[in-house]
Amino acid sequence: MAEWFQIKVDSLVKVNNNEEKKDILTEIKIKLGSCSHAEIEAIARSLDTGSLFLLFSSNDREVTEQICLIFKTLFEVLEPGEIYQKYPTRIYELISHSDVSVRSLILKELLSTASNQQTQLLLLTDVNLIVAVINRISDEDLTVATSAMCIIKEIGKDVNGLKILYHGEPLRTFAKLVVKNDNVSFRIYDVIINIAKNSKEALEATIQSGFLNSLIDILQNVDILLQMNALETLTELALTEEGLNYLEQQNVLTELVQKIAQANENPLSNLLIPGLMKFFGNVARLWPNEIFSKYPIVVSSLFEVLDSENHIILGVALDTLGHVASSVEGKYALQALGDSMLYALKKIAEIIQRMPTELRISSMNNLTLILNVQSIEQDNRILSLTKSWFDALCDDPLGLIVGLSKQPFADIRSASLEVLAVVASQAWGQEYISTYPGLIEFLLDRNIETFKECKETKYKVVKCLSEAESYIFDANTMQKFKQFVNEGPFYVETNTEVAFESAT
């Protein structure tokens, strides 16, 4: 069979007419489509595909795309690095091919090679290839640029790769691209931050390259949009301990706090508030006590913007609060702030009841994070805290959530059921549910739910209730919960069962 394919491939080079080439390529595609995985693998290994590479010089886009599809089929069955080992010169040349389909094909194959620890070594010996890949980070096609970025990120994970990237021609290529234009420069910054996160040595090498400090300098740029991009990129670095320490040493966090304090002085500065909130929210999720104690203005500003009429800023504030409160340590740090958190919870309840749908759903999603505690982390102290927070929402918090879970809108209904699932996972919540009129019947009634996601979430609620301590629900109710769980989320009662139950 391989011989048939070789004959066809060789004939392609001899044919000058594009239509004839297309016919042969179609034959090859059809034949490949009828082969098993093992047969394609045997063909890919024995076939001399050098002739196919030569056809990439064709001006006919359809011919080029068909060849790409054939190569894609062959590449998929080969081990990473096999094609590069066989045709290193061809691969190097095609990285800069004029057709985006070819560039994308070659870079995806190189990404497969770079992602494998053994085969990555092949690339590390080819500095010219690495430089060619770095240059593709500036590609006009985002898919190609992203593949190139991913390859360099993989190379940056290796100690030797790190040395190669920040030395000689690769370093000079980075330097040329970082000043090319804003889009390309932030692609480069994205890559260098990703590399810097890998280890202490990687961070040190990135600092020495000078790129990290040039990114930090953008935070002082008069262009607010550039500041926002820089802030978003630096957030990734701040989520590592070494990265955060370096940013603190460079007074970056102090300067960001000043931006929050001075936000009212410049109307454009308000555009930065969402990014600043996200930055400190992400960092505070990992180190809540340190951030809250060192930068109290961040906390006070977070609670202040909950009163904002700007729905974008309000949405980010809710996400930040939920993000910080998602860990037990974050919950205790927020509790230590006193009445601020209780005020925030009342505000969340108001938003759930009165604001536009998007904000209502956001509030419920973040309320889920605020109240959620993994079973392994549950103890009297944390359960007492989540109970007090739930009670602080309004006069009848369970009634509020149950009411929303009965609305005919899938998004509202699903978000409220998620809150109910978190309540049902904690002993105090199970007690609340056990005494709430009609709620157990509502949860066990399968005929009410028509939306798939709501059926799944309601199942989650009942499953939590089925694991409650025996003193909370009577034996009959527990049996119903367990039967519901055993039947699964999408169980449908037959007419016979319904008729039988009615008769009894």
Hey, where are the domains in the chain?
A: 267-394, 403-492
Mean pLDDT of the chain: 89
pLDDT at 305 over 50: yes
Cα(9)–Cα(161) distance, rounded to whole angstroms?
Answer: 37
Q: Fill in the amino acid letter for 66.
A: Q
Q: Is the dihedral of CA 125, 179, 94, 120 positive or negative?
A: positive
Over 60: is that where the pLDDT of 289 sits?
yes
How does residue 266 score in pLDDT terms, banded at 50, 70 and 90?
A: low
Closest listed residue to residue 387, CA positions, set 447, 329, 345 = 345
pLDDT at 80 over 90: no
Residue 495 pLDDT more than 60? no
Q: Which band of pLDDT confidence, cut at 50, 70 and 90, is reported for residue 498?
A: very low
pLDDT tens for each residue of 394-429: 999 999 999 999 988 999 999 999 999 999 999 999
pLDDT in tens, 476-492: 999 999 999 998 888 77
Return the DSSP state at 258: H
d(CA 130, CA 430): 59
Average pLDDT over residues 36-55: 82
The answer to whether the beta carbons of residues 186 and 225 sit under 8 Å apart is no
Phi, psi of 100 (to 5 degrees): -65, -30
Q: What is the pLDDT of residue 33?
A: 84
Closest CA relative to residue 256, chosen from 291, 303, 208: 291
pLDDT at 24 over 50: yes
Q: Grade residue 366 by pLDDT with cuts at 50, 70 and 90.
A: very high
The pLDDT value given to residue 371:
96
Q: What confidence score (pLDDT) does residue 134 get?
A: 97
Contact by Cβ (8 Å): 46, 2: yes
Please give the pLDDT value at position 267: 62
Calpha distance 420→403 (Å, rounded): 11
Which of 342, 268, 261, 336 is CA-nearest to residue 295? 261
pLDDT exceeds 70 at position 26: yes
Nearest residue to 219 via CA among 257, 174, 179: 257
Q: What pLDDT score was predicted for residue 82?
A: 86
Residue 496 — pLDDT band, cuts 50, 70, 90?
very low
The pLDDT of residue 31: 86
Tokens 């190097």 belong to 92
pLDDT band with cut points at 50, 70 and 90 for residue 185 = very high
> Are 456 and 449 a contacting pair, CB within 8 Å?
no
CA separation for the pair 207, 193 (Å, rounded): 10
Q: Tell me the pLDDT band of 502, cut-offs 50, 70 and 90.
A: very low
Furthest CA-CA distance within the chain:
85
